[in-house]
Each structure stands twice: as C-alpha cells, then as structure tokens.
Structure 1
C-alpha cells in the first residue's frame, strides 16, 4: 500500500524527489500512512476543498478492503513529521 500511495502522490506534486511515505501501526488491525511533501506541494495533495486527499483515501480504503486491512492516510507536517 505504501508504494501505491507514493506512486499517486509523486504524480501530483512539483517536487517528487521530496515525497516520503511512512507507514506506522495504528491499533490492532490498522495502519496509518503518513505522506510528507514539499511545503509548496501540500495544497496540490490536499486539493480544492480537500477533494484530492479524500479521493486518495477512498482509493486506499477500497484497496485495503480487498486485503482485509484498514489504512488511513494523513499529510505529515514538515516540522514534526506527524499529521
């Protein structure tokens, strides 16, 4: 799933070399995918009224359902690395 999210995000941003994706456990059966991008690219990943990130979360949820897992996608801020 990490590679899938990384692929999607790198196609959206101006600086794909600055994209990093980190997956961390979240409870017993879930994981959180943290996406870090250049500060100038955050708006491109979120999209107008959050439509891009919501669509990405929907795609990840659909793919995760096939795997029997739960994932959430968060945009990490540049200072702490956490959402």
Structure 2
C-alpha cells in the first residue's frame, strides 16, 4: 500500500524526494501518514480537496481483505 501511495503522489509533486509515507498500525485500523514538501501540499490536496479525495478512494479500494480500516492523512 505504501508503494501505491508513493506511485500516485510522486508524479504530482515538484519535489518527489521529499515524499515520505509512514505507517501506524493499531488494533482495528492502519493509518498512512503522507508528508510532502510544503510547496507541494496544494498539488496533493487539489482544488476543494478533489485530488486528495481521489487518492483516498484508490487507497481504500485497494485494501486487503483484513478487518482493519485504512486511513490516509496528508500532512
């Protein structure tokens, strides 16, 4: 899942070397924290959050059949 998030986000940003995805796994959920360069935050979020919503939709659709919920936080 981490590779999927990086594959989606890196072409969108001007500083792909600053894209960092960290994983925090809890009992009933998995949280992916996406950090990008401050200049690229607007490109990842998009107008009215459309790009962020699309990224989240893809990530949620690609989840495994585990009983854990998946969340994507954009820092």
TM-score scaled to structure 1, two decimals? 0.82
Q: CA deviation at 1:62?
A: 0.5
Q: Give the Cα separation in 2 of the matches to 1:73 and 1:17.
A: 19
Q: Give the Cα separation in 2 of the matches to 1:17 and 1:3.
A: 14
Runs of 4+ in structure 1 off by over 2 angstroms are none
In structure 2, the residue matched to 1:54 is 53
In structure 2, the residue matched to 1:79 is none
* Residues 54-77 of structure 1: per-residue CA shift (max 9 Å, x gap): 00000011001xx1242111112x
Structure with the greater relative contact order (CA < 8 A, sep ≥ 6): 1 or 2? 2
Q: C-alpha root-mean-square deviation of aligned residues, in Å? A: 1.0
TM-score scaled to structure 2, two decimals? 0.90
In structure 2, the residue matched to 1:7 is 7
In the TM superposition, 1:27-42 aligns within 5 A as 28-42=27-41
Q: CA deviation at 1:11?
A: 1.1
In structure 2, the residue matched to 1:81 is none
Q: Secondary structure of the equivalent of 2:14?
A: coil
Q: CA deviation at 1:21?
A: 0.5
User: Runs of 5+ in structure 1 lacking a partner?
Assistant: 77-83
